[in-house]
Amino acid sequence: MSVHASALDSVLDSPLAPARTRSTPAAPAALAVLAASTPLTCDPGPGHGNDLPDLSPFDLVHDRTGTGSLKWDFAAERGRPTTALPLWVADMDHATAPCVTSALLWRVRHGIFGYSEPDADYNTALAGWFSRRYDWRIDPAWNVITPGVVPALALAVRALTGPGDAVVIEEPVYYPFREVVEANGRTVASVELVRDADGAYRRDAEALEATLARTGARLLLLCNPHNPVGRVWSRDELARLAEVTARHGVIVVADEIHADLALPGHRTTPFASLGAEVAARTVTCTSPSKAFNLAGLQAANILIPDPALRARFRTELDAGGYSQPNTLGLVACRAAYENGDAWIDELREHIAAAREHVVERLKAVPGITAAPCEGTYLLWLDCTGLLAATGLGADELDDFILGEAGLWLDDGAIFGAGGRGFTRMNVACPRAILDEALNRLEAGVSALMARRALPTHRADTATAA
């Protein structure tokens, strides 16, 4: 990726440009650096020398304050100190792909933002993405656009179950799973994932089958890849899940919003791609919002092959008064799916490197390890060793991380069964910010250990890999 310096300046100075990149007040001035990582050649143009370092566009520090950012601008409203470094909510501190920005700029210059619908070009881009990336042949007629995946989960719960019905979720899991079930008057049937000796999570098929038999549940919410534990479920694991759910006549609503963020060496298998019988009882929730950092544009593609299920889902959507989607969301999605392959693959490499960097840095932080991660930019940190060594209670963990380490993370308890003693960290940020967060965590833990007269270094520095 080559950036011409003078051309970049002209873009930054244009009326359409965002605020210049600069350091954030929530972190030290050192965060204004451009940390050298993967190559980015800055070419000053013909006839000029090139003495600039190789830089990664993902290590450019953007000031997001003052942009109405949920992540950076609403600490006080959410009861957090404004000095806390936010690595909690799942959006990235990276600019989206240049192909998306270019498409949006073109559309904005047009200046008219009336009602819009997915057109033939949009449908071609959508089908092409799933064909190229997943070998999954979809029919655009399956697609129902919604403002996001979480609204789609709630719509599916209302459309496909009745009041009081049981809905299965596999915890610890993204906390809106439980919320959309309970807020709509249904009953959560939780099946806890099990953790192997190597720290990786697995599905307990026997416990799942027993829960389905006991509760009579006919709907399961699947997180694939799984947030927060980072599993990219294998094809064999999903096939076994398909067998169990088929025996009990269960419809699967698959949240696959993180599908594009399987890390190098891993590949997401869409649950519905297992075959026609599986697809006929699957609602697949997809969106470019996580992978391309487009959550604020509110466009999700909900793929429902079965006409009867699709009609029930659409009836519920229509009842809410929603019709045409966000015009710019459609533009961004089409651009990402037409031209975003190389960018997303570079991002995946960046996230994998960030994950390895965290694992290495945690060797100096007693009692905290990272669970193995195959996908998403969200690391699941096991702090149970710290709790055991210091006598800190699980209910005190988040206050310690926020108040003493100065980090705003997502406490594991909100993810349900199996989450206490864990915390979730978003590593989709420049290396300078990530290192600042790890410095704060290490300093906070060292101070806690010293205060309790405990050793500050572990004899065994092994971490979960």
pLDDT of residue 68 exceeding 70, the answer is: yes
CA distance 211 to 412: 23
Cα separation, 297 vs 330, whole angstroms = 9
User: Per-residue confidence at 375, pLDDT binned at 50, 70, 90?
Assistant: very high
- Dist. CA 367–CA 388, nearest whole Å: 8
Q: 341 or 463: which carries more pLDDT confidence?
A: 341
Q: Which two tokens stand for residue 144?
A: 């129902």
Distance from C-alpha of 413 to C-alpha of 422, rounded to nearest angstrom: 7
pLDDT band per the 50, 70, 90 thresholds, residue 55: confident
- Please check the confidence at residue 4 and state whether its pLDDT lies above 50: no
Peptide bond into 18 cis (omega under 30): no
pLDDT of residue 2: 34
- The mean pLDDT of 9-20, rounded to a whole number, is 35
CB–CB of 305/280 below 8 Å? yes
Same domain? For 240 and 141 the reply is yes
Neighbours of 279 (CB within 10 A): 20
302 and 154 assigned to the same domain: yes
Residue 70 · residue 62 · CB < 8 Å: no
Asked if 198 and 260 sit in the same domain, the reply is yes
Q: Is residue 304 part of a domain?
A: yes
pLDDT higher than threshold 90 for residue 137? yes
Residue at a domain's end among 340, 375, 393: 340
Q: Give 303's DSSP letter.
A: E
Interval 171-230: pLDDT, tens: 999 999 999 999 999 999 999 999 999 999 999 999 999 999 999 999 999 999 999 999
Residue 57 makes CB contacts below 8 A (sequence gap 6+) with: 1, 40, 94, 95
Q: Decide if 367 contacts 387 (C-beta within 8 A).
A: yes
CATH number at 393 reads 3.90.1150.10
Identify the domain boundary among 294, 311, 340.
340
Q: Are 108 and 84 contained in the same domain?
A: no
Question: Do 145 and 85 belong together in one domain?
Answer: no
Give me 313's structure tokens. Answer: 């889902």
Indicate if the pLDDT at residue 104 is higher than 60.
Answer: yes
Q: Contact, 257 vs 149, CB < 8 A?
A: yes
Closest CA relative to residue 434, chosen from 31, 113, 140: 31
pLDDT one-digit tens code per residue, 230-241 = 999 999 999 999
Residues 177 and 295 in one domain: yes
- Same domain for 87 and 128? no
Backbone angles phi, psi at 14, to 5 degrees: -75, 155
Structural domains in the chain (count): 2
d(CA 405, CA 383): 13
Report whether the peptide linkage leading into residue 140 is cis, meaning its omega lies within 30 degrees of zero.
no
Residues 91 and 122 in one domain: no
Q: Please tell me the distance from the alpha carbon of residue 322 to that of residue 458, in angstroms, as a whole number.
A: 55
Is residue 323 within 8 A of residue 292, CB to CB? The reply is no
| Nearest by Cα to 172 from 366, 461, 394 | 394
Cis ω on the peptide bond leading into residue 225 (within 30° of 0)?
A: yes
Q: Which of 299, 322, 340 is the last residue of a domain?
A: 340
Mean pLDDT over the full length of the chain: 89
Provide the domain limits for residue 236. 98-340
How remote is the C-alpha of 60 from its chain's centroid?
Answer: 20
How far apart are the C-alpha atoms of 401 and 364, rounded to whole Å?
16
Q: What Å distances lie between residue 375 and 231, 266, 268, 295, 427, CA to CA?
A: 6, 8, 9, 18, 12
β-partners of residue 410 are: 424
Question: What 8-state DSSP symbol labels residue 169?
Answer: E
The answer to the question of residue 67 being in a domain is: no
Distance CA 465, CA 461 (A): 12
Residues 434 and 345 in one domain: yes
Asked if the structure places residue 39 within a domain, the reply is no
**Mean predicted confidence (pLDDT) in 310-329:** 97
Is a pLDDT exceeding 60 seen at residue 35?
no
Average pLDDT estimate for 160-167 = 98
pLDDT value at 54 more than 80: no
Scanning 37-119, the segments in alpha helix (DSSP H) are 70-73, 98-110
Look at residue 34 and tell me if it is in a domain: no
Asked if 280 contacts 242 with a C-beta cutoff of 8 angstroms, the reply is no
Tell me, yes or no, whether 436 lies in a domain.
yes
Are residues 206 and 281 both part of a single domain? Answer: yes
What's the chain's length in residues? 465
What is the rounded distance in angstroms from the CA atom of residue 424 to the CA atom of residue 90?
A: 10
- Is residue 25 situated within a structural domain? no
Contacts of 72 (CB under 8 A, 6+ apart): 24, 26, 64, 65, 86
Q: Are 134 and 164 in contact (CB under 8 A)?
A: no
- Examine the domain organization and report whether 291 and 425 are in the same domain: no
Q: How do beta strands 219-223 and 166-171 pair?
A: parallel
State which H helix or E strand residue 194 sits in. Answer: strand 194-195
Residues 336 and 440 both lie in one domain: no
- Assess if residue 403 is contained within a domain: yes
pLDDT at 26 over 90: no
SS3 266: coil
Scored b (16 or more CB within 10 A) or e, 438-455 reads: bebbbebbbebbeeeeee
Domain membership flag for residue 270:
yes
pLDDT in tens, 259-282: 999 999 999 999 999 999 999 999
Segment 350-369 shows an average pLDDT of 98
Q: Indicate which CATH number applies to the domain containing 189.
A: 3.40.640.10
Q: Which two tokens mark 289?
A: 């919002």
Please give the Cα distance from 459 to 82 (Å, whole number): 36
